[in-house]
Amino acid sequence: MTSFDIIHDIPYAMSSLESPIDPLPVNGDKPEEGNAIGDKRPGNASDADNLPTNLYPNITTQNHPNIDQFASSHLINFGTTFLPDLIISATHLSLFTAPSPGSSSPYGRAITDWTSGQMSSLLGHSHPEIVSVIQSHASSLDHLFSGMLSPPVLNLAKRLTSVLPDGLDRAMFLSTGGESNEAAIKMAKTYTGKWEVVGLGASWHGVTAQASSVQYHAGRRGGWPMVPGALMLPSPNAYRCHEGFRRKKNIGNGKENGANRGFGEKGVIEDEQWEYDWEAEMLYGWRLIDQQSCGSLAAVIVEPIQSSGGMHVLPPGYLRRLKTECEKRGMLLIVDEAQTGIGRTGEMIAVNHDGVVPDILTLSKTLGNGLPLSAVVTSHAIAGVCAERDFLFYTTHVNDPLPAAVGDKVLEIVVRDDLVSHARRMGEVLHSGLNQLKKRYACIGDVRGRGLMAGVEIVEDRRKGKEAGLELAKKIGDRAYELGLWCNLSTHPSFGGTFRIAPPITISEEEVRDGLAVLEEAFRGVEGSLPLY
């Protein structure tokens, strides 16, 4: 037994569901018996041997409500367009829709989820060990008074800090990424005694007050002021950098960035003569910030990969220079690893690629494998000073035992099964396949990312330039969804028609290649994709 094995799984039997709820008929009896959800993963929805238990067997495509009509009558729109299918089950990579009337299968069609839900189900949907932890803790240790501690919280704090670099020594556990970023910003202000916070253009940190004030992707307009002191550095975008921040490549570097080499297209060949001077752009941004600042610069908050902004990876050396600039000004560096954390990029946390230790690290999404769990991690020194200065972030669900037990199990599995290395290897397969697609289709302007995070930016015709192909991207995305592959696509201007791909890090090489084959079929079947051979 290790020092982490404090809580043992408790036998659990699923109780009866509530009586049917109109208009969504939930089965009133005990769910149908089905095969245990294990390593044998579902392929086609008609393969009944591999299907998970259907909790909603009375729902078919005939009797389930019109989703648009139901949503407009009963749900608040929070800024999205709902997809047309009703999802009634999910396991590993597969989402299952309601069946047709009279079908012998409990499901309609299977959809391969290449975004891990909301970029969160790191180990896949309904992972059997995660299910077991949820069941046992729901039956015996779910929620406590916020001032009480429990074994899952102690275990998670110890296990998490043990896999992080020195200087990330103490943690607190909250619910969402926005909440953790809110706490981190408040902590930075408490520690420094200052109140100005810098974010990057095209960033996304959440929808709480301070987090949304320092993000510049979306959500800033609505007729109210942001939290005072929010300032912005330019978004580092190597593909669409401003001409003023390009420089001629040295002859000795002529073979660098080989993945961006063209295939006879004039535009790409011209681009290869130049490289992105991110350092000049960053220093220009700092000069503007220094001019605007009231002399109260507290922190910078940054994502290692700007996912919502189009899957842009911070250039090599960027984080290290950013920390240097923070230290010059007495600022803290906050790194938001909501999507990149816990192995997805091929390192436990993405800052390890650059050898940089942030002053404050925030985690969410991946840590809870889809459950609402986030973390704020910092040094002994910062935590101590904040305590002396009465830092307060007391919430209903701070350090709740059930989600903490899930986070602890996620970390245990990631380390035990060496999933960080697996994500690195599968990322190589994924990016190789996506770059092969780029070679074939002139509508793919750029492929970027790291590990099992990838972005595919669609343009009208890269041989002629970089005009965003928003309508074409939507057609390709719609076709892929029809074929059973879900990749997230946003047409927001700061996103630029880029597919975001982030499958669970438990994905196999066969599953990666199967998904690439479906994506290839989607490109092949859409007019305007511009096949080159």
Per-residue pLDDT for 173 more than 90? yes
pLDDT level of residue 28 (50, 70, 90 thresholds): very low
Q: Let me know: does 116 contact 82? Beta carbons within 8 Å.
A: no
The residue with greater pLDDT, 102 or 386, is: 386
Per-residue pLDDT for 103 more than 90? no
Classify residue 204 by its DSSP letter: -
Q: Let me know: does 76 contact 9? Beta carbons within 8 Å.
A: no
The residue with greater pLDDT, 42 or 172, is: 172
- CA dist list (Å): 230 to 123, 130, 190, 298, 418: 36, 39, 16, 10, 40
Catalytic residue, candidates 182, 196, 204, 450: 204
pLDDT score recorded for residue 251: 55
Per-residue pLDDT for 270 more than 70? no
Per-residue pLDDT for 268 more than 70? no
3-state SS class at 450: strand
- CA dist list (Å): 231 to 291, 487, 513: 11, 32, 43
Is 124 buried (19+), middle (13-18) or exposed (0-12) by CB count in 10 A?
Answer: buried
Range with the poorest average pLDDT among 25-39, 167-181, 339-353, 473-487:
25-39
Mean pLDDT of all residues in 328-340: 98
3-state SS class at 477: helix
Classify residue 32 by its DSSP letter: P
HSE-CB at 76 with a 13 A cutoff on CA atoms is 1
Classify residue 314 by its DSSP letter: P
Tell me if the pTM is above 0.75.
yes
pLDDT level of residue 13 (50, 70, 90 thresholds): very low
pLDDT score recorded for residue 491: 60
What one-character-per-residue DSSP string does 120-166 give?
T-TT-BT-HHHHHHHHHHHHH-----TT---HHHHHHHHHHHHTS-T
Express each pLDDT in 396-431 by its tens digit. 999 999 999 999 999 999 999 999 999 999 999 999
Mean pLDDT of all residues in 16-29: 34
Angle at which helix 401-416 crosses helix 419-440, to 10 degrees, equals: 80
Q: Measured between alpha carbons, how far is 36 from 24 in angstroms, rounded to an integer? A: 26
pLDDT level of residue 30 (50, 70, 90 thresholds): very low
Per-residue pLDDT for 4 more than 50? no
- CA dist list (Å): 452 to 275, 302, 335, 424: 25, 20, 19, 7
Catalytic residue, candidates 194, 329, 344, 365: 365
Per-residue pLDDT for 6 more than 80? no
Catalytic residue, candidates 196, 277, 325, 336: 336
Closest CA to 368 of 320, 410, 334: 410
Q: Does 336 participate in catalysis according to the annotation? A: yes
Q: Does 303 participate in catalysis according to the annotation? A: yes
Catalytic residue, candidates 303, 347, 400, 412: 303
How many helices and strands in the chain, by DSSP H and E? 14, 19
pLDDT score recorded for residue 162: 98
- CA dist list (Å): 436 to 457, 517, 519, 520: 14, 11, 12, 10
Q: Let me know: does 397 contact 174? Beta carbons within 8 Å.
A: yes
What one-character-per-residue DSSP string does 78-103 give?
-S----SS-EEEEEBTEEEEPPPTT-
Per-residue pLDDT for 470 more than 80? yes
**Exposure letters 451-485 (e unless 16+ CB within 10 A, then b):** bbbbbbbbbbbbbeebebbbebbbbbbebbbeebb
- Using a pLDDT cut of 90, give the percent of the chain over it: 70
pLDDT level of residue 242 (50, 70, 90 thresholds): confident
Find the DSSP H helices in 329-418: 380-388, 401-416
Per-residue pLDDT for 69 more than 50? yes
* CA-based max dimension of the chain: 73
HSE-CB at 365 with a 13 A cutoff on CA atoms is 24
Express each pLDDT in 49-68 by its tens digit. 567 888 888 888 788 767 88
For 293, other C-beta atoms within 10 Å of its C-beta total 16
Mean pLDDT of all residues in 79-104: 88
The residue with greater pLDDT, 452 or 4, is: 452
Mean pLDDT of all residues in 26-43: 33
Structure tokens at 403: 């989600």
Structure tokens at 50: 């591999």
Structure tokens at 519: 């994506």
Q: Measured between alpha carbons, how far is 450 from 432 in angstroms, rounded to an integer? A: 12
Q: Measured between alpha carbons, how far is 275 from 197 in angstroms, rounded to an integer? A: 30
pLDDT score recorded for residue 254: 42
Q: Does 500 participate in catalysis according to the annotation? A: yes
